[in-house]
Amino acid sequence: MPRLKPKNSIMTKDQAVDAMQQICEIDRVMAAYAMTEAEEIAKVREKHAEIQLRMGVRSMEGKKALLIRELEAWAKEDRANWPAKSITTSFGAFGFRTGNKAVALLKSQAKNLKEALENLQISLPQFIRRAPAIDMDAILAADRNKKLNHDVLNSCGLKVEQKETFWVETAASKDLAEAAKALKNA
């Protein structure tokens, strides 16, 4: 959509009401289009769901998952006999991939990550993060309680601000929002 520069042609309340009427009509047209689109998408999805049901796609997916689990169980047992990490057949390939290393919890030594962190602080403190961060919530709470020295905060390069934004809500915007939601869920 091209960027349009406002002409500043609204000078009276009547002109503002007229602008709202135009915006509302645009919202109604857009909502009608979105609802039609959502209905058509829903019909296509229903049609394909019926086709999948007739073809037995759900049972095929279950059978495929079972075959993969059985193939994996066999592969784990027979892996020592393989010349490589994978086997290629005329139908495709299967095998084992080595993933990235990850740090995992050793439950025989620590019940949870909090306990592991405490143990690490004692034994290997160089692996503990110490990242300073600005506590925005504390600053805003101090401002609300009138206990914030704004001059000191400003000298640190920060300020507390509250912006005001212009908004427009037409009578048709609720329909447009519902249409967008229906389209997303279609």
Is 34 in contact with 176 (CB distance < 8 Å)? yes
Q: CA–CA separation, 71 vs 89, rounded Å? A: 13
Length of the chain: 186
Is 148 in contact with 129 (CB distance < 8 Å)? no
Confidence of residue 91 (pLDDT cuts 50, 70, 90): very high
- Mean local confidence (pLDDT), 147-166: 93
In sequence order, what are the beta bridge partners of 90? none
Assessment of whether the complete model's pTM goes beyond 0.85:
no
Is 41 in contact with 183 (CB distance < 8 Å)? yes
The first and second tokens of residue 163, run together, are 């912006």
Domain that holds residue 154: 103-158
Q: What is the pLDDT of residue 44?
A: 95
pLDDT at 183 over 80: no
- Mean pLDDT of the residues in the chain: 91
Total domains in the chain come to: 1
Q: CA–CA separation, 143 vs 159, rounded Å? A: 10
Q: Is residue 31 part of a domain?
A: no
Q: Is residue 110 part of a domain?
A: yes
Q: Is residue 116 part of a domain?
A: yes
Half-sphere exposure of 35 (CA within 13 A, CB side): 13
Q: Is residue 121 part of a domain?
A: yes
Q: How far is CA 73 from CA 37, 64, 78, 88, in A?
A: 46, 14, 9, 17
- Mean local confidence (pLDDT), 11-16: 95
Q: Is residue 124 part of a domain?
A: yes
pLDDT at 1 over 70: no
Confidence of residue 182 (pLDDT cuts 50, 70, 90): confident
Q: What is the pLDDT of residue 144?
A: 96
Q: CA–CA separation, 43 vs 50, rounded Å? A: 11
What's the pLDDT tens digit per position in 22-76?
999 999 999 899 899 989 999 999 999 999 999 999 999 999 999 999 999 999 9
Q: What is the pLDDT of residue 180?
A: 80
Q: What is the pLDDT of residue 181?
A: 82
Q: Is residue 25 part of a domain?
A: no
182 CB-near residues (< 8 Å, 6+ apart): 34, 35, 38
- Mean local confidence (pLDDT), 107-134: 92
Q: What is the pLDDT of residue 179?
A: 79
CB-CB neighbours of 179 under 10 Å: 22
